[in-house]
Structure 1
Amino acid sequence: MDFNMKKLASGAGVFFTRAVQFTEERLGQAERTEPDADLERLAGRADVTRLWTERICRQTEVLLRPNPGVRMEEFLYEKLDRTAPQRPASGQLLGRHMEDAARSLGPELAYGRGLLLVGACEQRLGRAEREFSQVSAVALIGPLRDFLEGDWSLITKERRLLENRRLDLDACKARLRRAQAAESKAATQPDFQETRPRNYVLSASASGLWTQEVEKAGDELQRAQAEFDQQAEVTKLLLGDISSTHVNHLRCLHEFVEAQAAYYKQCHLHMEDLQKELHYSALLGTTRYYSALLGTTRHNSAQLGTTRHYSVLLSTTHGSAGGSGQQGEQSGGGGDPPSPPPGSRRARVLFDYDAADASELSLYADQLITVYTVPGMDSDWLIGERENHRGRVPVTYLELLS
């Protein structure tokens, strides 16, 4: 217990001495040993690196986890050395709600089909977001944290030790100056009665006592200077490694950008697929509407052509463009269509076109038809055939296929 009290008293004395020394330096009453310019430059660059590494790391976490409650929960799990539970992304939760709403309202409705399509897409986006967060945590946040918790902690420790060495060096310098001043005064004034140096019990003159104090202070100063120089070299080596840290962080930054680009590309593809699915879902609803509207009229052939057209479009969304559409056209008629005349070509319809009279043929966008020309016909028109129907079609509405 006595030893602990002595240690505590010694620590309190050192703290008080350091406080006095810092105060004197701030007030300009004590000299301060300044490190060399190279060390100051390296220390400044290291401080800037630490500052912006902390901000980038923190803001990246905000980007990946916008909810502060989730971030705090993950932080607590990390400090407790436990694995945080897997949370679904916001897009996944939205997709589940949309799918549940579609089942409640009825998937046979147009709104229900739209909710199902958008909900499935949102779930895919949510899974892509979660994968991007996991990759980014490993590629960028992990190395930044390793630097702050590992390399920077070691640099901070060595810089603190260098500061203590500097304070010891300045204290030795001040002690030597006081001893030299007392020695000079004792030499010039034989009746100098200042209190003799500590730890000396010699029966010599005051000048001799202060000479010994000067020698002792000089030895302590040399030892403190050597320790300071050695610690300065160690600190400078650690601060010089900041350049390699920058190289490592740049590589991590490239990996993060690649992961983010892949994530955005995947999201773009998902949204393009969703737009096509919604478009063809609307076409399917339009087909059913026309089927109900034309079912009581005498234009059964037009109804059949419209239904086949949208069936072909819907089949192409699932990767069966061309073959399945042509198969539907061949299977829908009452018999094999007549052979096309010589010189005929296949053409794709660019826009819907309503026939003005019985001599023209109505067209629907993206439909494939057979076209050819006849002698004496206007160059702006062609003869088009679709199944058992034939009529004039405008050239500007067609894309001729090779």
Structure 2
Amino acid sequence: MFMIDGCEKLLVYGALSTLLELKRLPYSCLVTFITGKFCGSSPRILISKTEASGTLLLLFLVCFVPDFPPHSFGMDFKKMLNRAVQFAEEKVGRDVEKTRLESDLEHLIEVQEKVKNHTEKIMRNTETVLQPNPNVRMEEFMYEKLEKRLRQRATPMTELASTLKEAGNDFGPQTPYGSALIRVGDYEHRLAQVELEFVSNTADNFLTPLRRFLDGDIKTVLKERKELNNRRLDLDHARSKLKKTNKDDPKLSDTFAKFENEARVANAEFERQAEITRLLLEGVASYQGNHLRYLKDFVEGQRRYYATCHGIAEELYRELSTINPEDCQAPRAFSSPPVGSRKARVLCDYEADNGQELSLTANEVIFVISVASQDGDWLIAQRVSGEKGKIPSTYIEFLE
């Protein structure tokens, strides 16, 4: 028969609480069971339902399921249960000893937490600035975790540049407005390239070192801090067993000596782990020099980015200042195609060489009026806007 007493009552209570919730049984069943089996005639609820964890359920399996745990768990499993017992007693506020860390070590831990939290926030907000779309950021994150290369995505500025140039060609490159649209589109494309370069440099020189810091130094410190807490639980559990053992009882002299040796070994392991953790925390505390260099690289990248953008914008402004809005004229429309004309589609752009020729834009629909040369290489055509001139016959295909 497996006997449970002391703090094990508390652990079985939590395990059964979790089990009843999984089985969707009334919580009163647990209170009745506990007060009848373990707590005598004085009902006491030691912990709430929400405090029952997977560790407590695991202890329930140990107590009531035959042949659990497997023998392969060995001593590590026993240590895990001892830590669970100590942890549960501390959480419910029972009068148990808890080893306190030295003040300087606690201060280093507080500094490390601040470093971790602020670095994560800086990275998160920087990524938001570089890519405001959260869906795109999530896609980039998934591709990074899968170690796959994300296909090149057009930026909003690149799409704007393409839209402006398309509109300019449709309105006519020879018109003031169409010419201005094409010029602005070209400059917006240049700005988009500068933006991509800034995003790439910021990722390489600022975000990547910070991420490497979090995934390397900080994760190592957190791992050692977790091990330090485990060593503390082992030490406090060993001291608790030693305190409960009567050293004056001759029957328990061997047990007391065993527990005293366990406490001595646990204290040595705790001190050793505390020193390891302290050294790592002191290394993390000296992070600011490196992070300052990363920050300066980020600011320098911003300075170059905005300076380049300003130069491009100034150049574009000077070019646009040469175009007079008063030169824009309303297109001359006609209600019907010229008599005897044939509709044709322009295959590719054509730039007129002289005033007698007509400039063409790809996919533009025009009307061919007559043949301009005996060999048929040149035609007389009219645009929808009413402009008329000679065009090469090889640049069009008839639609009817």
Taking the aligned partners of 1:177 and 1:83, their CA distance within structure 2 comes to 60
SS at the partner of 1:135? Answer: helix
Aligned-residue offset at 1:65: 1.2
Matched residue, 1:96: 162
AA aligned opposite 1:34: R
SS at the partner of 1:183? Answer: coil
AA aligned opposite 2:304: A
Q: Deviations over 1:50-73 (max 9, x none)?
A: 011111111111111112222122
Matched residue, 1:242: 284
Tell me, yes or no, if the aligned pair for 1:88 and 1:126 is still in contact at 8 Å: no
Matched residue, 2:359: none
Taking the aligned partners of 1:109 and 1:17, their CA distance within structure 2 comes to 85
Taking the aligned partners of 2:172 and 2:72, their CA distance within structure 1 comes to 80
SS at the partner of 2:212? Answer: helix
Query: What is the number of equivalent residue pairs in this alignment?
Result: 262
Normalised by the length of structure 2, the TM-score is 0.62
Taking the aligned partners of 2:252 and 2:283, their CA distance within structure 1 comes to 46
Equivalent residues in 2 for 1:384-395, closer than 5 Å: none
Residues 66 and 242 of structure 1: CA distance in aligned 2, closer, same or farther (over 3 Å)? same
Which structure's CA Rg is the greater one? 1
AA aligned opposite 2:85: V
Alignment partner of 1:254 is 2:254: no
Matched residue, 1:202: none
Tell me, yes or no, if the aligned pair for 1:169 and 1:225 is still in contact at 8 Å: yes
Matched residue, 2:18: none
Matched residue, 1:105: 171
SS at the partner of 2:153? Answer: coil
AA aligned opposite 1:257: V
What residue ranges of structure 2 are gaps of 5+ in the alignment? 1-66, 330-400
SS at the partner of 2:96? Answer: coil
Matched residue, 2:313: 271
Find 2:86's aligned residue among 8, 16, 21. Answer: 21
Matched residue, 1:133: 199
Matched residue, 2:269: 227
Equivalent residues in 2 for 1:199-238, closer than 5 Å: 207-238=249-280
Q: Deviations over 1:319-344 (max 9, x none)?
A: xxxxxxxxxxxxxxxxxxxxxxxxxx
AA aligned opposite 2:205: A
Tell me, yes or no, if the aligned pair for 1:89 and 1:127 is still in contact at 8 Å: no
Taking the aligned partners of 1:213 and 1:8, their CA distance within structure 2 comes to 24
Tell me, yes or no, if the aligned pair for 1:155 and 1:239 is still in contact at 8 Å: yes
Find 1:74's aligned residue among 119, 140, 147. Answer: 140
Normalised by the length of structure 1, the TM-score is 0.61
Taking the aligned partners of 2:243 and 2:195, their CA distance within structure 1 comes to 67
Give the stretch that moved more between structures: 34-43 or 213-222: 213-222
AA aligned opposite 1:268: H
Residues 128 and 277 of structure 1: CA distance in aligned 2, closer, same or farther (over 3 Å)? same
Alignment partner of 1:173 is 2:250: no
Matched residue, 1:332: none
Give the stretch that moved more between structures: 12-21 or 166-175: 12-21
Taking the aligned partners of 1:265 and 1:136, their CA distance within structure 2 comes to 16
What residue ranges of structure 1 are gaps of 5+ in the alignment? 185-206, 290-402
Matched residue, 1:183: 247
Taking the aligned partners of 2:306 and 2:109, their CA distance within structure 1 comes to 39
Residues 4 and 31 of structure 1: CA distance in aligned 2, closer, same or farther (over 3 Å)? closer
Tell me, yes or no, if the aligned pair for 1:64 and 1:133 is still in contact at 8 Å: yes
Root-mean-square deviation (CA, aligned residues, Å) is: 2.2
Find 1:34's aligned residue among 94, 97, 100. Answer: 100
Find 1:85's aligned residue among 140, 144, 151. Answer: 151
Taking the aligned partners of 2:272 and 2:81, their CA distance within structure 1 comes to 26
SS at the partner of 2:101? Answer: coil
SS at the partner of 1:281? Answer: coil
Matched residue, 1:280: 322
Taking the aligned partners of 1:77 and 1:22, their CA distance within structure 2 comes to 39
Taking the aligned partners of 2:100 and 2:324, their CA distance within structure 1 comes to 77
Tell me, yes or no, if the aligned pair for 1:89 and 1:129 is still in contact at 8 Å: no
Tell me, yes or no, if the aligned pair for 1:162 and 1:232 is still in contact at 8 Å: yes
Aligned-residue offset at 1:15: 4.3
Tell me, yes or no, if the aligned pair for 2:171 and 2:178 is still in contact at 8 Å: yes
Aligned-residue offset at 1:130: 0.2
Matched residue, 1:58: 124
